[in-house]
């Protein structure tokens, strides 16, 4: 098979790494890829939002299956365009992808099908949104309706912070048109977990659990990022809660979307808040998480390609996935200044040495080659991922590798996975 992967981050490198292990695959292209994917794939310089160019490339190269990494091409309708040309593509179509493209659509869907989520109100007027703050308890959450690269959620501890958040999103438009409307919702306390499933629109196949670390600094301080690290499994999701999430959240969502004429195929990622052994939906994403894909895929023992094909073809009920009993941890190494502005072109040293460590895989994200030197080329640069006998072992291995890698201004959290350790104390 000839496979096309669309995207340039750590998630796409992890997908390429896993897909390259398949006996079914003869050639992989990655658009546009990064310095890591080029070791496994042929990188092609086409923008991820050039739907026409991507479709033409897939037709020209007779691609058997296209796998979409990021959300933007999915919400733009790349699946619809590929399907019109008879091309097989893994991911939801434009209508189904609205569960990430519009938080307001998702809120209304959850309410209609009685799926647990935070209480909320929706506003398209900044003045009305600010007035509403006078009657609600703090803290609360302000969310941009549309796509904001994982940064459109602001937790506000005072009405003043809320007014500032509304102003930034709706008036200063820091997320562009994504901030035309906002959701103001109750703040849910507890512990977050990421729950990803494969689905063919009717059947679902859950993946192992994981947990992301969004804020830039240790102890969940500082602004939100696209994700500073993740681990799997997330022990807060015990066996009974796992079954409850499948039965009362993920299946009803897929069935609800089908009832709305939005048959959903691909990966559905539920961002959940767990409290008192109950899960509520914070948000849905329409693709693999980044960085959750990294620790999840290193635990997958089964061939990924037949799973992707079964989701596209509607045969997921015939598939079983075998997972490693080991735990995994991914530590994201980022550029100084991220999630704000940062400098590029700093030489990265130590990767080859770190890559030789047992049970360690280093996934590239914002990397490139300049003058035959590996340099940083993005905010999140590397996802250093390790397998271990348990979370503690995986943490130790991941940080051993992290400490071998350096460039000017490198930043990483030093507490990835720490939340999980309390569940294992004897």
CATH code where residue 176 lies: 3.30.1490.20
Residues 131 and 83 occupy one common structural domain? no
The DSSP secondary structure of 31-99, one letter per residue, reads: EE--TTGGGTSEE----TT-HHHHHHHHHHTT-SEEEE-SHHHHHHTHHHHHHHTT--EES--TTTTHH
The answer to the question of residue 99 being in a domain is no
In this structure, what is the dihedral angle of CA atoms 109, 113, 115, 118, given to the nearest 10 degrees? Answer: 50
Residues 291 and 195 occupy one common structural domain? yes
Question: Which pLDDT score is estimated for 149?
Answer: 73
Last residue of a domain, one of 93, 128, 147: 93
Residues 342 and 368 occupy one common structural domain? yes
The answer to the question of residue 106 being in a domain is no
Question: Which pLDDT score is estimated for 361?
Answer: 98
Question: Which pLDDT score is estimated for 151?
Answer: 75
The answer to the question of residue 403 being in a domain is yes
CA 286 vs CA 76, 139, 231, 323: distances in Å: 12, 28, 20, 22
Residues 177 and 130 occupy one common structural domain? yes
Domain span at residue 57? 2-93
Q: Closest by alpha carbon to 326, among 296, 350, 303?
A: 296
Q: Closest by alpha carbon to 185, among 244, 103, 83?
A: 103
The answer to the question of residue 231 being in a domain is yes
Residues 213 and 309 occupy one common structural domain? yes
Q: How many CB atoms lie within 10 A of CB 184?
A: 22
Its pTM stands at 0.95
Counting as low any pLDDT under 70, the low residues of the chain are 150, 425-426
Residues 135 and 58 occupy one common structural domain? no
The answer to the question of residue 196 being in a domain is yes
Question: Which pLDDT score is estimated for 401?
Answer: 98
Is the bond preceding 32 in cis, omega lying within 30 degrees of 0? Answer: yes
CATH code where residue 9 lies: 3.40.50.20
Last residue of a domain, one of 75, 93, 111: 93
pLDDT in tens, 242-263: 999 999 999 999 999 999 999 9
Residues 200 and 216 occupy one common structural domain? yes
Residues 281 and 364 occupy one common structural domain? no
Query: For 87-189, where are the alpha helices, taking DSSP H only?
Result: 98-101, 103-112, 126-132, 159-166
Residues 161 and 54 occupy one common structural domain? no
The answer to the question of residue 101 being in a domain is no
CATH code where residue 341 lies: 3.90.600.10
Question: Which pLDDT score is estimated for 209?
Answer: 98
d(CA 252, CA 248): 6
Last residue of a domain, one of 289, 318, 347: 318
The total number of structural domains that make up the chain: 4
Identify the three-state secondary structure at position 167: helix
Residues 350 and 285 occupy one common structural domain? no
Residues 309 and 356 occupy one common structural domain? no
CATH code where residue 240 lies: 3.30.470.20
Residues 207 and 306 occupy one common structural domain? yes
The answer to the question of residue 256 being in a domain is yes
Question: Which pLDDT score is estimated for 307?
Answer: 98
The answer to the question of residue 112 being in a domain is no
């Amino acid at each position: 098979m000839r496979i096309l992967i669309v995207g340039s981050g750590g998630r796409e490198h992890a997908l390429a790494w896993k897909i390259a292990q398949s006996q079914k695959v003869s050639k992989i292209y990655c658009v546009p890829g990064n310095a890591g994917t080029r070791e496994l794939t042929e990188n092609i310089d086409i923008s991820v939002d050039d739907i026409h160019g991507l479709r033409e490339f897939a037709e020209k190269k007779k691609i058997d299956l296209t796998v979409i990494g990021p959300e933007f091409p999915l919400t733009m309708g790349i699946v619809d365009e590929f399907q019109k040309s008879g091309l097989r593509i893994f991911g939801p179509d434009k209508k189904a992808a609205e569960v990430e493209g519009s938080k307001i659509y998702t809120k209304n869907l959850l309410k209609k099908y009685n799926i647990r989520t935070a209480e909320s109100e929706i506003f398209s007027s900044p003045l009305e949104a600010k007035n509403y703050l006078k009657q609600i308890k703090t803290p609360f959450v302000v969310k941009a309706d549309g796509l904001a690269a994982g940064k459109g959620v602001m937790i506000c501890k005072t009405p003043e912070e809320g007014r500032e958040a509304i102003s930034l999103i709706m008036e200063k438009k820091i997320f562009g048109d994504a901030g035309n409307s906002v959701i103001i919702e109750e703040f849910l306390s507890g512990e977050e977990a990421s729950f990803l499933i494969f689905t063919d629109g009717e059947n679902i196949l859950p993946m192992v659990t994981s947990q992301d670390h969004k804020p830039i600094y240790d102890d969940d301080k500082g602004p939100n990022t696209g994700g500073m690290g993740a681990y799997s499994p997330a022990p807060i999701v015990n066996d009974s809660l796992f079954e409850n999430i499948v039965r009362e959240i993920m299946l009803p969502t897929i069935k609800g979307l089908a009832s709305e004429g939005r048959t959903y195929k691909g990966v559905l990622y539920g961002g959940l808040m767990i409290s008192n052994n109950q899960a509520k939906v914070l948000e849905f994403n329409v693709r693999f998480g980044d960085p959750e894909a990294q620790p999840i895929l290193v635990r997958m023992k089964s061939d990924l390609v037949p799973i992707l094909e079964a989701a596209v073809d509607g045969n997921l009920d015939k598939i079983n996935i075998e997972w490693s009993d080991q735990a995994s941890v991914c530590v994201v190494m980022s550029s100084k200044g991220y999630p704000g502005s940062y400098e590029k072109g700093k030489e990265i040293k130590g990767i080859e040495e770190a890559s030789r460590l047992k049970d360690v895989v280093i996934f590239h994200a914002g990397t490139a080659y300049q003058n035959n030197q590996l340099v940083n080329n993005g905010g999140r640069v590397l996802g250093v991922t390790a397998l271990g006998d348990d979370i503690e072992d995986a943490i130790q291995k991941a940080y051993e590798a992290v400490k071998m890698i350096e460039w000017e201004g490198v930043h990483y959290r030093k507490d990835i996975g720490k939340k999980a350790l309390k569940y294992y104390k004897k």
